[in-house]
A and B are shown apart, each in its own frame.
Chain A
Amino acid sequence: MRIHTLRLNNFGLFRGVTEFDLLPKVKYNKERPVILVGGKNGAGKTTILEAVRLCLYGPLLLGSRVSAREYEEYLRSRVHRNDDALVMNTTASVALEFEHSELGKSHRYTVERSWDIGTKKIKTHLLVQRDGDPIDDLDHAHADDFLRDLIPPGVSQLYFFDGEKIQELAESDDDDAALSDAIRSLLGLDLVERLSGDLQIYANRLQKLDNIDTLQKELDNVEKEIQDKQDRHLKSRIALDEAQSRVDDIAKQIAATEARIAKEGGAFADVRGKLESDRKRLRTAIEDAENQLRQLAEGLLPFSLAKSLCRDLTNQLKNEDRVQGWRSHRTLLQERIERLHIATRKELAGIDGLTDETRGVLADRITQMVGKLGEPPEGLPDVKLVHRLSSDLKESLFEGIRGATEYVPDRAKKVIGQLETDTRDLQKTEAALKKAPKEDQLRPLVERVNDLNREIGGADADLKRALAEYSSAEFSLKEERSRKAKLTDKKSEAEKQGEREQMVESVNAALEEYVRELTADKSRELAQCVRRRFQQLWRKGDIVRRIEIDPISFIVKLYDRHDRVVPKTQLSAGEKQMYAISMLWGLAEVSRRPLPMVIDTPLGRLDGEHRSHLVEHYFPEASHQVIILSTDTEIDETYFNDLKPHLSHVYHLSYEQSQGRTVVSEGYFWNHRNQELTNAS
């Protein structure tokens, strides 16, 4: 992979569009891998590393478990603020253009992330293009995954890092934890672990099925059951056939005998036919009539049995009605009489010329007369109120009583009359049918038909029984067979399940072995790489002759030329840093990914002696593209000159306090002076 350009738009300290050309240039027929970006602290060097990461990893730049809110907060904080502008700028973007080879073909990719904080909810947009076209087989949801697979975040820390990382590795006494993580993600072991975890989940989800032996036992039982049921089925079939052939046989005899009767006495056969149809009609009529009677019985007929009580009830209800009516009137009347009484006394008092005595007598008389109105009317029945029903309910009871005393008896009478006639007729018809014809020679034949008819009745009943038995046998056989089918399915499912479980086990075992072998292999390779790089960086590096990395614990052991273990604590601070860089370098090398290096302030805490090792031996060789973000105290003039044969081009970032932004120019800190010197010479 080779980065072509990085474009920042209103990102961090960079106002408007700032584009960095990061492609290494060829000078004197030699490609120069190092691009140097200089800037003092706070000028925005780290922003460049950050932009590269943001482009590739989006939210993951903040860590593996970052919430959408945190990411939005981050994006909000990274939009450039221009306090002089009239209108607040709300949009920002970062874009990375690079070349990447896959399957032997080189493609040019553009990845742009843009966002707008102008709205309440941040709008983010990710654009991924290959050779200028949107990647069509990549929808938005998968764009992030695609980028993550391009350069896994775990690997990126070996290529995009800062001086802190080196320090961290150098100063940690046990580097196995950090190392273990790096090696695992480097080898894609985290993927293998995820796969193995998924397999476990898959295995757990496999239904716990019944034991195969139990199923087999059940199957054997069912098999026996089926055998029995088949026997029963066969026997019932034979019985059915026998019964059927007996019925057929008798029917044939009847037909033959009747044919003889018809031949020998046609008239009789005609009469018989008519009688038979009469009998059928009468039977139907009788059944009809009986059903009508049953319908009556289900309705009001029961009450027809107690007509006199029905009448009593009607009278009682009517009487209660009158009494209830009178009672409600009486209350009203008494109230009025009381009022009249008072009014009368008042009226009489107003009439002059009457003595008080006369007034008293008159008032009593009037009261007496009016009082009679409050007496019960003549003929009001003296009844006990036992029913006290509402008038609606009373009406419905009257209706029922009318039905029971009038309609039902009337209807029953008619139906019974018809029924009696029909019954009599049927008896006559049956008697006539039984009567032998007058012709003596037909009598035995007719008797034979009668006998045969009786016989066929019995045979028919047998046939029905046989048929019922046969159907039941067939049904239970079918049931047993479907049980067998289900059990067979279940068993084969259980067998398949067993295979799947074994498959999971063997895959897991293979995975384990794969991981073991791969780790051992890579650990060996890494140990050799680290040793080589260490010696390259550190001429006195032969204090370490051999490095061993334990493929399980990732504990690193250093051996001196007498093959004695050198504890890491015995290394000097410089040696430790060199060792850390060797480790990073070795890991990157072992990962075998042709990725560019982005190194931020790498020399921060290094002393001068060690700096020159890095400048001379590490930066030019670390990768085909090395982007170094440095301050003027790190790559100073001396180192700048040392690095010059490998330098492709140089940028300078300077923070303009008055404008509140970083300005980018080509050249390094002392560029002008350099040019002046060149000009002078």
Chain B
Amino acid sequence: MHLNKIKLTKDASDRLKQLKARTGLTPNILSRIGFCMSLSDPAIPDPGEYPEEDREFNRYTLLGEWDALYVAMLRQRMLNDELPDDAVEVDYFRAHLNRGVIALSRQVKSIADLASLAIT
């Protein structure tokens, strides 16, 4: 996947700030969680809905030591979704990330809320 830097929408960036205040977690960690949350949502996101606007991450900060697993998960999801061959991975990566962050901010009020998402 060709990804060095990624930019979020303004909405997602704002929500990350709120989430940080509620959970005490840094935006990159919150983004990882949001990303995986979106992967578990069966609806296919539309990359067109998430323009590049505000906060920017570089790849290493964002994905950390499990980079390869995140990429593999995205590919698996795209395979499951039977997307056409010309679907661009980076676009779907960004779509899941934005969508996940927004969903996360709707559900999570505290670190305990967040952790309980991992149990079910």
Report whether over half of chain A's contact residues are helix, strand or loop; otherwise say mixed. helix
Q: What's the least CB distance linking B18 to chain A, in Å?
A: 16
8 A Cβ contacts from B54-73 to A: 66, 68-69, 72-73
List the B side residues contacting A296 at CB < 8 Å: 115, 118
User: What 4 A-B pairs come out closest when comparing CB atoms?
Assistant: A304-B118, A306-B40, A302-B36, A302-B32
Q: Closest residue of chain A to B79, judged by CB?
A: A386
In the assembled complex, the Cα of A316 lies from the Cα of B73 at a distance in Å of 11
The stretch of A3-11, A126-134, A335-343, A411-419 in contact with B is A411-419
CB of A397 closer than 8 Å to a CB of B? yes
List the A side residues contacting B4 at CB < 8 Å: none
Q: A303-B73, A309-B76, A393-B68 are in contact. Are A420 and B118 (CB under 8 A)?
A: no
Count residues of chain A with CB under 8 A from any CB of chain B. Answer: 38
Q: Are B115 and A415 in contact (CB under 8 A)?
A: yes
Encode A415-441 as 1/0 by CB contact (under 8 A) with B: 110011000000000000000000000
Q: What's the least CB distance linking A316 to chain B, in Å?
A: 6
Across the interface, A293 reaches (CB within 8 A) one of B39, B79, B112, namely B112
Q: Are B68 and A306 in contact (CB under 8 A)?
A: no
CB of A387 closer than 8 Å to a CB of B? yes
Q: Closest residue of chain A to B34, judged by CB?
A: A302
Q: Closest residue of chain B to A396, judged by CB?
A: B68
Q: Closest residue of chain B to A408, judged by CB?
A: B118
Q: Are A293 and B114 in contact (CB under 8 A)?
A: yes
Report, as a range, how many residues of chain B touch the other chain. Answer: 20 to 34
Q: A305-B33, A305-B40, A389-B72 are in contact. Are A297 and B79 (CB under 8 A)?
A: no
Q: Closest residue of chain B to A423, judged by CB?
A: B112
Report whether over half of chain B's contact residues are helix, strand or loop; otherwise say mixed. helix
In the assembled complex, the Cα of A301 lies from the Cα of B32 at a distance in Å of 9
In the assembled complex, the Cα of A389 lies from the Cα of B66 at a distance in Å of 15
Encode B1-44 as 1/0 by CB contact (under 8 A) with A: 00000000000000000000001110001001101110110000
CB of A401 closer than 8 Å to a CB of B? yes
Interface residues of A, Cβ cutoff 8 Å to B: 290, 293-294, 296-298, 300-310, 312-313, 316-317, 384, 386-387, 389, 393, 396-397, 400-401, 408-409, 412-413, 415-416, 419-420
Across the interface, B79 reaches (CB within 8 A) one of A384, A400, A419, namely A384
Q: What's the least CB distance linking A398 to chain B, in Å?
A: 10
Across the interface, A387 reaches (CB within 8 A) one of B37, B72, B80, namely B72
Q: What's the least CB distance linking A232 to chain B, in Å?
A: 34
Q: What's the least CB distance linking A308 to chain B, in Å?
A: 7
Q: Are A309 and B68 in contact (CB under 8 A)?
A: no
Encode B100-111 as 1/0 by CB contact (under 8 A) with A: 000000000001
A-B contact pairs, 13 of them (CB 8 A): A296-B118, A302-B29, A305-B36, A305-B40, A305-B118, A309-B40, A310-B73, A316-B76, A389-B72, A400-B66, A400-B69, A409-B119, A415-B115
Given A309-B40, A387-B75, A413-B119, 20 further pairs, Cβ under 8 A: A293-B112, A294-B24, A297-B114, A301-B118, A302-B32, A302-B33, A302-B35, A303-B69, A304-B36, A304-B117, A304-B118, A305-B39, A309-B77, A310-B73, A312-B76, A313-B73, A384-B79, A386-B79, A409-B118, A416-B119
